[in-house]
Amino acid sequence: MKRRLSGLAAGMALLGLCACAEHNGPMERAGRDMDKAADKTAAAVGKAVEKTGAAIERGGDAIQKKVDQKASGGN
């Protein structure tokens, strides 16, 4: 009896593992495609933010240079 129960438990565990196998149905593929699109979008936004930040910093440096020139009496 004990042997049957352990065999049954092992069989159910194996069945559970088989049930969790990867399925590549249309929803799974659509989900992966959406994940890829979100990753690409995040990367593009990150790059745009970096470029914008660099441009703002350059603008700030140019303004500071003008302020310093005016303060020292230059044009």
DSSP output for the chain:
-HHHHHHHHHHHHHHHHHHTS----HHHHHHHHHHHHHHHHHHHHHHHHHHHHHHHHHHHHHHHHHHHHHHTT--
| Residue ranges covered by each domain of the chain | 43-75
| pTM, 2 dp | 0.54
Question: Could you give the CA distance from residue 56 to residue 45 in angstroms, rounded to a whole number?
Answer: 16
Four-point Cα dihedral 19, 25, 27, 30, nearest 10: 130
pLDDT digits (tens, 9 = 90+) for 25-74: 999 999 999 999 999 999 999 999 999 999 999 999 999 999 999 999 86
